[in-house]
A = this chain, B = another copy of it.
C-alpha cells in the first residue's frame, strides 16, 4: 500500500478501476452468480490494490439487514459490576461463535429506564439481526415484549412470565438435586437450604432440585431461608437458619457467594465444616476453590452458555426452529461436604 488515500475507496472506485459496472463489483463482493471469471478477477485485484473495505453502514441500509446482534444483560443493579465472572464468561462464549460470522456484537446492559427503552427500540425497529437476552429476568415485561417482537430472540435462562420459544439454560434443578443427594449419601439428614431469589426461574429451579432430593429420601425440607445471591443475604440467611434450626447438619446454598458467607457464618458460630455442618454452593466460581475448606459446588460452564446462545441465535436468524437447550451441570466435590 503506497500512501493511503485520505478517504476510503468506495465500490464505485473499485468498479471503475476494474473496468466494470458497480453492479458487477457488488456481485463479486457478495459472491453472487452472473459474473464472468475475468471480471471477477479484475474486481478482486482492484479491491486488493485499493485496500477496499465495504462500508457496513451502507450495506445495512441497502439490504435492510442489520450487521449486528445485541447481547442484552438485564439485571436490576448491574451485577456485571459485581465481582462475579458470570457475564464476562458468557460474553467470551458468544464472541467465539460470532467471530466466524460477519456479525458484530453490541452489548446493552439493561439496568436503567434509559437502557430499557433503548432495548425496546431495538426490538421494535428490528435494528439488529437478533437479540440474546440474558440475566435475571423474573417477570420482566421485556421478556414478553421480546418474545413477540417478531425478530430473532433467544433467551439465556428462562423468564417466568412467558415460555420463550428459544432458550438456553443450565440444568439448575438437576444440579441442586445432585448436590442435595450427595449430602444425603454422605449421611446428612437435617439439610437446610438457602435459596436464591424465588422470583427467577433459576432460583426456583435450584430450590426445586433440593426439594426433589429431600422428598425422594423422605426427609423434611422445611429448613429454608431465602437470599438474593449476595454475600450479605447469605450471612443473614445462615444466621436465621442457625437460629431456627440449630440442629441442621448441612446447608445447600443457591450460589457460591451465599455458600461462602454461610461457611464463614458457621465457622464464626463455632460449627466445624464439614464435621458439624456440610455446605454446598452453586456456580463453581474461582473463589469456591480457595475457601477454607474448599467448597463443594455445582459447576456450570457459562462460556458454553454463551456459545450455545449465539449458535441458537444464528440458527433462528437462518429461519430454523432449534429446540431449547438445557446444559448439564456437574457436581464438584471438595472438602466442605
Residues in A lying within 8 Å of B, measured CB to CB: 8, 51, 53, 55-58, 60-61, 66, 68, 78, 80-89, 91-93, 95-96, 99-100, 104-109, 112, 114-115, 118, 121, 124-127, 257, 260, 264, 285-287, 290-292, 303
Give chain B nearest CB distance to A226 CB in angstroms.
Answer: 22
Once the chains bind, are B83 and A285 in contact (CB under 8 Å)? yes
Tell me which of B114, B121, B286 contacts A287 (CB under 8 A). Answer: B286
Point out the residues of chain B lying under 8 angstroms from A112, CB to CB.
99
**Are B80 and A121 in touch, CB under 8 angstroms?**
no
Interface centre among A85, A109, A115, A126 (most CB of B within 10 A): A85
**Cα–Cα, bound, A115→B98 (Å):** 10
* Minimum CB–CB distance for A245 against chain B, Å: 25
CA–CA, A58 and B91, complex, Å:
28
Measured in the bound complex, the distance between the Cα atoms of B287 and A112 in whole Å is: 29
A82: shortest Cβ distance to chain B, in Å?
7
Q: A53–B83 contact, CB under 8 A? A: no
The answer to whether A109 and B95 touch across the interface, beta carbons within 8 angstroms, is yes
Tell me, in angstroms, the Cα distance from A86 to B87 when the chains sit together: 11
- Cα distance A82–B92 when bound, in Å? 9
Q: A80-B95, A95-B115, A106-B106 are known contacts; what are 13 more A-B pairs with Cβ within 8 Å?
A: A55-B125, A55-B127, A57-B61, A80-B89, A80-B92, A81-B303, A83-B285, A87-B91, A107-B107, A286-B287, A287-B290, A290-B290, A290-B291
* A51 and B88 contact, CB distance less than 8 A: no
Contact of A80 among B56, B88, B257 (CB under 8 A): B88
Given A106-B106, A107-B95, CB of A8 within 8 Å of CB of B126: yes
User: A287 to B8, alpha carbons, bound, how many Å?
Assistant: 48
A82 CA / B121 CA spacing, docked (Å): 33
- A85, B257: Cα distance in complex, Å: 14
The CB with the most chain B CB atoms within 10 A, among A51, A91, A285, is that of A91
Do A127 and B57 touch (CB < 8 A)?
A: yes
